[in-house]
Structure 1
Amino acid sequence: MATAIGAIEAERMGEARRDLGPLFVGTIFVGSFLLFLVQPMIARMALPRLGGAPAVWNSAMLVYQALLLGGYAYAHGLARLNVRTQSIVHLILLAAAALMLPIGLIGRVPSATASPAFWVPWLLLLSIGPLFFVVAAQAPLIQRWYTAATGGKDPYPLYAASNLGSFTGLLSYPLLVEPRLALAEQSSLWTGGYVLLVVLTLACAAVLPRAGLDTSDAGFSAEAPPTLKQRLWWVLLAFVPSGLMLSTTTYLTTDIVAMPLIWVIPLGLYLLSFTLAFSEGRSIVTGICRLSPVVMLAMGGLSLQNASREPLLAMTVQLLLLFVVAVTLHARMYTSRPAPRHLTSFYLSMSVGGVLGGLFSGLLAPLLFDWTYEHPLLILLAGALVPQAYLFGISERRWEGGRGRRLAITIAYAAIVCAIAWLAIRRPLPWLNTHGSTMGASAIGLITLFCIGRRWPFLIGLAAMVLVFGGWDSIQRTLHPGERYRSYFGIYTIIDEGDIRTLAHGTTAHGIQRLTPGFERELTSYYSPYSGVGQALSRTPEIVGPNARIGAVGLGTGTLACYTRPGQDWRFFEIDPTVVHIARESGAFTFLARCNPDAKIVLGDARLSLAKMPADSLDVLVLDAFSSDAIPMHLLTREAFAIYGRVLAPKGMLLVHISNRFLDLEPVIAAAARDGGWEAARYDDAVQADSGLSRFIFSSNWILMSRDPAVLDQVTSRPPPNGKWRPLKADPGFAGWTDDYSTILPLLKAFR
């Protein structure tokens, strides 16, 4: 009878344990959701202090990865204790971290000379460090508790729920939270989610067995503690996808398309790769792993190709490549996972790899390389790690035999590939000039396809395709100092085409100078006399007098300096010292030297610099501070326009450059004008493609603003030579941007 009762009781306990899955999955989901909701939220809060450069996001990612590593290390340290004791310690830490609620930034601002590469991590660590740290520890801890509470069930599939929660939190912010809630409301939402997380964690702790971890580790790939070699293997497998995720973000925003929110997509695919790789269903993952060498061969060779003419296609290729590599390498981690008792050690090693990948792409690469070379290097490293399996029987038979035979075949193959690559790069024959790269890469790819299954021949073919498709051209440009510069804020390339020299920031031209003698001072690109800024600056002497005080936010090549007239006082506000070097010291562009060598340059964030200036300090302020097509939101908020209004004289003019490939910024300026009492008009100039001017003059969109209607009338009443002035079109449904609220979704041209 006692035996039967015991069996019934054991069966009831087993059913209870089986019902615990939703509780633990929900707890992990909520924790990961909060973790990735706070990342864009805190970055949005910091915009008035950090600016909008894509590199700021990479710096923030380094902080998040470091805190994630700290959380996993803490979870690994707790693993030595009984699970009941673990729950008590963790709940105390959750309560202590709650003292920092509601979430927000510390009240510090950087000095003008502070390096953002170090100041950004410092600000974020002090602002959200404790909260992020304790929430980051949730995933490994709750998985370990799940194993203890269910009698030894496999906890690793729960990591798929963790990354699904991360993905949901990441997408929820730009699509749902930011467009609907002000920052104070967002902070309250996150606080409510944190309270829910504490309640769920309490519920998980309540069902833990009193005796601690009650499970067998049978059936897992590592019964003994992981060796150093295994740990290093996990670190390497985590390093490549993490670094590739950031390098893909940098590559896309620098050389393909600087579309707003583009950083969400690589990070989202990176998180989804964990969800797929750690799921219990393995058929899809197995197929992706088997085909990963083919995908890398077809798409990895395009990693350095100049794809500005087909940006969406190039973006799709790079994102698909990232996803396949991440799924494949994370799946290799999953198949080598240890027993549940060593779970925290596994996640700690994975987090170390993630941090190292982030450090390489986000911090070291900008210091080591003048271009995004980290991207193809990580692709080649991924090629060395993806599993190799023969695709065709004929391929396997060809490589049969001893080591000497395989070595001879490899040498012959390498010689053929190198010869094809040389022909494609050097193009000694006339018929190769037009399609040499495509023909060479196609031949290399076809030959290498039959080498899949042999790692070294595969890597040789992949490297050759990278060189043929833009790699050699990039290396050649690196070998010529002065043609390319890289800084924390981006990559700048100086390109000579005939008698025109262009400064390109990614795929966007930021200034053009004619090299023909006698035309070096000619006003070009977006700043020609036909543009809105050209018409306003040409009228400045008669509006405010001969001694006008003129400021320009954004230096570029210094083209605007050639509007200088005797007696005027000019100053440029520039955040990037590299741009100052290019415009003033490199000799590549001579606008400043020829037109206004004494112009003052104020280094640092323009909004902070302007806020320190006395009232009535400027008569004209030109706002032209876009990094490629990225938008510095903090320069276009209601509070920012209040600073401009204070600094400008009563008859002052504010000129805002709103040319953008992806966003219609007119509603933002119209709302700011309405709220700040500005009079405003827009000017769209149109340069005819067949006029001959389009080689060095670009069509542009400018908005002129003033508190004095008479000033606006003086500029707009004169018949313009090209284009027309018109009143701003207000959008009644658009509230405008403030430091507390902003969203770009209603401004995307694709949706308007």
Structure 2
Amino acid sequence: MLRVFGIAIFLAAALLFLVQPMSGKVLLPLLGGSPSVWNTCMVFFQMALLLGYLYAHVLTTKVPAQWQGVVHVGLLVIAGVTLPAPIEVGEPGTADPRVWLLRTLLITVGLPFFVVSTSGPLLQKWFSRTDHPHARDPYFLYAASNAGSLIGLLAYPFVVEPLLTRWQQSVAWTGGFWILTPLVVGCAILAHRRAAPAPVKAAAAAPAAPVGWKRRVLWVLLAFAPSSLMLGVTQHISTDISAIPLLWVIPLSLYLVTFIVAFSNRVPISARGWGRLAAPVVLLLVFVMASLSRSPVLLVVTLHLLAFFVLAMMCHRRLAELRPDPAYLTEFYLWISVGGVLGGAFNALAAPQMFTTILEYPIAIGLACLLRPQAAEDDSSVKSAAWRWVLRGTAFVVGFGVFVAVLNIDAAAQVGVFTRGWFKGLQRHWPGGPPSDAVMIHVFRAGVPTLVVALLLMRRGAVRFAFAAGAVMCAAHMFANGRTLYRERTFFGTLDVSEDRFQNWHILSHGTTLHGIQAVRGNKTDLPTTYYHPTGPIGDVVGMLKEEGRLKHAGVIGLGVGSLAAYAEQGDTFDFFEIDKGVIEIANDPRFFTYIRDAGMRGARVRGYHGDGRLGMRGFITREESPESPETPFDLIVVDAFTSDAIPIHLVTKEAVAIYLSKLKPNGVIAFHISSRYFDLGPVLARIAEELGVVGRIRDDGDDKMTPELSAEAKRDSTWVVLGRTEGAFGALTAPPTDWVRLPDARGVEVWTDDFSNPLAAWAGN
């Protein structure tokens, strides 16, 4: 019996974590790949999960036990009739796409997802009413549920997506649903046949203590904090430290692992133990975040993930310890779901409207520290002698670092705070030479607040420790860039306009992603920089087209700071398609960047279109498509194909390239910017070129071609691919000697379409 219940719960959870990325893959090309698509999908699925838990609670408390199986199996059959979910769902039209998206999700996968989401709490409740020896404490089955979720999560990017098309994925999910249905039927039959005798039920029900609202609120908070932390640590690492592909898999996997471990019956560490461990880990995190250090990347990322794991483990273990009698099982899961929904909504919906930086992450850390069992008693971890010495040792190391930093900073000696005379003898013995002032300033800046937080904890002020830790990390986020001129947060992340310390350059960045640089002094204000430098690949393309008199109309997907507008001359038309409205406003603000304004002053026409580039291109009607249109086809189409670590797959599929070709003049050129530390799109575009019968070239403008003079002009290395209908479209680009070589061999590479793509196959390490 236990095996049947366990398999059913495991399979249901796996199906839940498979349908979410499957739905996103269907809808992404239709809505332009906006992060708001994912945010809206997430909110939909979390709300559907909450409704599923509410249904399970009502069904098991209001419907007689003998009818519960009949009702639920009937609902399963009704949901199964709607499968497989269609992959052709129409187009969003001109109305609010969020309304269309929610309606489409509701119609296509809403009922099946809702029914499957009920399986975890419902089957556990049924199991608790049987005569099985473990029936009085069925919460261990929650571990099976989260194990299924983990398998489903990892299976999609590594197995399902590389092997199956969208339609095949939908059919496979339908097969899983119809396997789940008889398993649920079997569970219902077993629950009826193996129901505990009435005297046993009465004995089991007698000790059930009522659940108060204080306990319910604590359940919600203990579920809220890890949910918010999971999203916060993912966004913080990918935005502020390093954009690593598939990074989102790690925090979500750790989140599920903490549930599995916390609710299993083999955990030797209590919530109090995890709370003790959290104290020194959070202190280290405070130090790193206050120092504003991003390197070494692996060490910093590992520390953030370790802190998340320990805090989530503490919260979930405390939830497990506070679990009620099985009589309140479905209500318990309902409140956990409420906390998870609120945590996700806080990060995905509320925080972007409230904060200009990712403050929700340190706030969630502070809340998790406040939820330590020690904080409830305002009694820190220091009652344990071992942990007391750990904290004292941490405080001593940090304090010594601050002392050394003060003695070693030139500025301190210059203002007479300390003298470094006696210290110079000691400096000669530093391993590898004395540390630089920059390093010492980081140590001082991070050490002082960390020492304060540590002392608060040692003074048995666990509540003050939580508030202080959160406050220090919030301050680090708010003042991470001391030369910030403007900051704005949009659906796509935090945009920062800053200046270099000599006030010669303005820089637009999104976390670790550089969007553009422009000189604001001297004679280089009209020089296109970074990936668009005249000596780079796109400079070759623009120069060739201008020299041959073939560049009058250009279409650019991705605006940045408008660097390409520097090439626009009198009579030229440059159309930019940009999905982030914040980027459009910044690029058009002459206080920050003047490329677009200066192009207009030269007599060029620069137009901006807010929306996804692919959809914008498709809706751009040229004269050749409609005689009434005043628009000429493009001489050049530029596709900047990367945003942070992510491949916007809908911009580099066979269907997408076909759209670009339909808007291009017969001898026009499409240029793809494919620079990435992680992915190699050269073979992907080569395969698409073969399918569409076009030709291509690639140029890798790497570090080996960089000179000090070019670096001083803010040039960055880049890799570009150009496609054209014939070799003649490339003009002088292919004339020897040339750095433009033929595209790599595409044999064995599967063509990317809207129905199939395999990002892992494009991994640069393959």
Amino acid at match of 1:189: A
Partners of 2:2 and 2:238 lie apart in 1 by 41
Secondary structure of 1:209's partner? helix
Amino acid at match of 1:601: G
Per-residue Cα deviation, 1:198-247 (whole angstroms, up to 9, x for no partner): 01001101112369675548789982332211111101111111111111
Measured at CA, do residues 604 and 251 of structure 1 come closer, stay the same or move farther in structure 2, by a change above 3 Å? same
Amino acid at match of 1:73: L
List aligned pairs for 1:219-298, cutoff 5 A. Answer: 223-284=208-269, 287-298=273-284
Q: 1:483, CA displacement in angstroms?
A: 1.6
CA contact (8 A) 2:5 2:187 kept: yes
User: Unaligned 5+ residue runs, structure 2?
Assistant: 375-379, 390-398, 414-419, 421-436, 625-632
Question: Is 1:130 matched with 2:115?
Answer: no
Secondary structure of 1:649's partner? strand
- When structure 1 is superposed on structure 2, of 600-609 and 23-32 the one drifting more is 600-609
- When structure 1 is superposed on structure 2, of 377-386 and 295-304 the one drifting more is 295-304
Q: Which residue of 1 aligns with 2:522?
A: 517
Amino acid at match of 1:153: R
Q: Which residue of 2 aligns with 1:100?
A: 82
Q: Which residue of 1 aligns with 2:18?
A: 37
TM-score (norm 2): 0.86
Secondary structure of 2:192's partner? coil
Q: 1:392, CA displacement in angstroms?
A: 5.3
Measured at CA, do residues 222 and 289 of structure 1 come closer, stay the same or move farther in structure 2, by a change above 3 Å? farther
Q: 1:289, CA displacement in angstroms?
A: 4.0
Partners of 2:386 and 2:264 lie apart in 1 by 32
Q: Which residue of 1 aligns with 2:149?
A: 166
Amino acid at match of 1:693: L
Q: 1:325, CA displacement in angstroms?
A: 1.1
List aligned pairs for 1:237-636, cutoff 5 A. Answer: 237-284=222-269, 287-303=273-289, 306-388=292-374, 389-391=380-382, 429=412, 434-439=439-444, 441-442=446-447, 445=450, 449=454, 451=457, 454-459=461-466, 461-463=468-470, 465-466=472-473, 470-471=476-477, 473-474=479-480, 482-497=485-500, 498=502, 499-543=504-548, 545=550, 548-585=552-589, 587-596=591-600, 598-614=605-621, 616=624, 617-636=633-652
Amino acid at match of 2:223: A
- When structure 1 is superposed on structure 2, of 650-659 and 205-214 the one drifting more is 205-214
Secondary structure of 1:258's partner? coil
Partners of 1:735 and 1:394 lie apart in 2 by 61
Partners of 1:299 and 1:604 lie apart in 2 by 38
- When structure 1 is superposed on structure 2, of 336-345 and 279-288 the one drifting more is 279-288
- When structure 1 is superposed on structure 2, of 445-454 and 656-665 the one drifting more is 445-454
Partners of 2:740 and 2:205 lie apart in 1 by 72
Q: Which residue of 2 aligns with 1:185?
A: 168
- When structure 1 is superposed on structure 2, of 452-461 and 271-280 the one drifting more is 452-461
Q: Which residue of 2 aligns with 1:707?
A: 725
Q: 1:194, CA displacement in angstroms?
A: 0.3
Measured at CA, do residues 249 and 671 of structure 1 come closer, stay the same or move farther in structure 2, by a change above 3 Å? same
Measured at CA, do residues 443 and 528 of structure 1 come closer, stay the same or move farther in structure 2, by a change above 3 Å? closer
Per-residue Cα deviation, 1:441-488 (whole angstroms, up to 9, x for no partner): 4465567557355313422552465367x34624967xx7x5211100
Secondary structure of 2:138's partner? coil
- When structure 1 is superposed on structure 2, of 140-149 and 118-127 the one drifting more is 118-127
Q: 1:252, CA displacement in angstroms?
A: 2.0
Q: 1:86, CA displacement in angstroms?
A: 1.4
Partners of 2:388 and 2:166 lie apart in 1 by 64
Measured at CA, do residues 88 and 106 of structure 1 come closer, stay the same or move farther in structure 2, by a change above 3 Å? farther
Identity of aligned residues (%): 37
Partners of 2:590 and 2:221 lie apart in 1 by 40
Secondary structure of 1:522's partner? coil
Partners of 2:321 and 2:41 lie apart in 1 by 31
Partners of 1:654 and 1:500 lie apart in 2 by 30
Q: 1:102, CA displacement in angstroms?
A: 0.7
CA contact (8 A) 2:31 2:97 kept: no
CA contact (8 A) 2:562 2:596 kept: yes
Secondary structure of 1:567's partner? coil
CA contact (8 A) 2:225 2:364 kept: yes
Partners of 2:238 and 2:207 lie apart in 1 by 41
Measured at CA, do residues 221 and 256 of structure 1 come closer, stay the same or move farther in structure 2, by a change above 3 Å? farther
Question: Is 1:642 matched with 2:658?
Answer: yes
Q: Which residue of 2 aligns with 1:155?
A: 138
Q: Which residue of 1 aligns with 2:687?
A: 671
Measured at CA, do residues 274 and 395 of structure 1 come closer, stay the same or move farther in structure 2, by a change above 3 Å? closer
Measured at CA, do residues 393 and 161 of structure 1 come closer, stay the same or move farther in structure 2, by a change above 3 Å? closer
Amino acid at match of 2:141: L
Per-residue Cα deviation, 1:578-606 (whole angstroms, up to 9, x for no partner): 11100013631110000136411111111
Partners of 1:458 and 1:711 lie apart in 2 by 65
Secondary structure of 1:79's partner? helix
Per-residue Cα deviation, 1:304-329 (whole angstroms, up to 9, x for no partner): 65444433322222222111111110
Per-residue Cα deviation, 1:34-93 (whole angstroms, up to 9, x for no partner): 000111111122221234455643443222211111111111111212233111111111
CA contact (8 A) 1:444 1:464 kept: no
Secondary structure of 1:207's partner? helix
Secondary structure of 2:722's partner? strand
Q: Give the length in aligned residue pairs.
A: 704
Secondary structure of 1:585's partner? coil
Q: Which residue of 1 aligns with 2:8?
A: 27
CA contact (8 A) 1:252 1:315 kept: yes
Question: Is 1:72 matched with 2:79?
Answer: no
Amino acid at match of 1:514: A
Partners of 1:217 and 1:268 lie apart in 2 by 40
RMSD: 3.1
Q: Which residue of 1 aligns with 2:750?
A: 735
CA contact (8 A) 1:390 1:396 kept: yes
Secondary structure of 2:191's partner? coil
Amino acid at match of 1:489: F
Partners of 2:410 and 2:207 lie apart in 1 by 54
Question: Is 1:82 matched with 2:54?
Answer: no
Measured at CA, do residues 576 and 461 of structure 1 come closer, stay the same or move farther in structure 2, by a change above 3 Å? closer
Q: Which residue of 1 aligns with 2:394?
A: none
Amino acid at match of 1:88: V
Question: Is 1:146 matched with 2:149?
Answer: no
CA contact (8 A) 2:580 2:610 kept: yes
Partners of 1:212 and 1:106 lie apart in 2 by 46
Partners of 1:338 and 1:460 lie apart in 2 by 30
TM-score (norm 1): 0.87
Amino acid at match of 1:678: V
Q: 1:691, CA displacement in angstroms?
A: 1.9
Measured at CA, do residues 464 and 65 of structure 1 come closer, stay the same or move farther in structure 2, by a change above 3 Å? closer
